[in-house]
Amino acid sequence: MSTSIPDQFRITLSSFYGRSYTVLIRDGKLHYHSNRPEKMIKRRPADEDWQKFWKKTVSLKIWLWEKEYLDKSTSDGSNWSVNIEIGSLKLKSYGSNKKPENFSEFLDALRELLPGIELMLN
């Protein structure tokens, strides 16, 4: 990757019970928003933090995630989406009451990139 900063970066998590989280990139900064409790954070990760994150995404093989993860047997629960583009790597994945096996590890990597954030799915 010639640059550490992604072209697209938007992660959303939401729960039927009303909790939601968003992490997105705007003007080179990561913007985090949580609705319960209401919390907003803006940070510009260092290049080495981005590089560590990208290495983690490769080791987790998130770039091979399926487009959709759906559990149609449950009507309420949680939803998530990941839209990341950096160079030739592109990922658009979505889930409703189902997620990839390594989704928690991906959230851990995101927490390391942006310390102080809370991200949870039911």
Go through the domains of the chain in sequence order and give each one's CATH number: 8-113 (3.30.1560.10)
Residues 56-115 have pLDDT tens digits of 999 999 999 999 999 988 877 899 999 999 999 999 999 999 999 999 999 999 999 999
Residues 84-100 have pLDDT tens digits of 999 999 999 999 999 99
Q: How far apart are CA 21 and CA 117, in angstroms?
A: 9
State yes or no: cis peptide before 37, omega within 30 of 0: yes
Give every CB contact of residue 121 below 8 A, 6+ residues apart in sequence: 13, 15, 78, 80, 99, 103
pTM of the complete model: 0.92
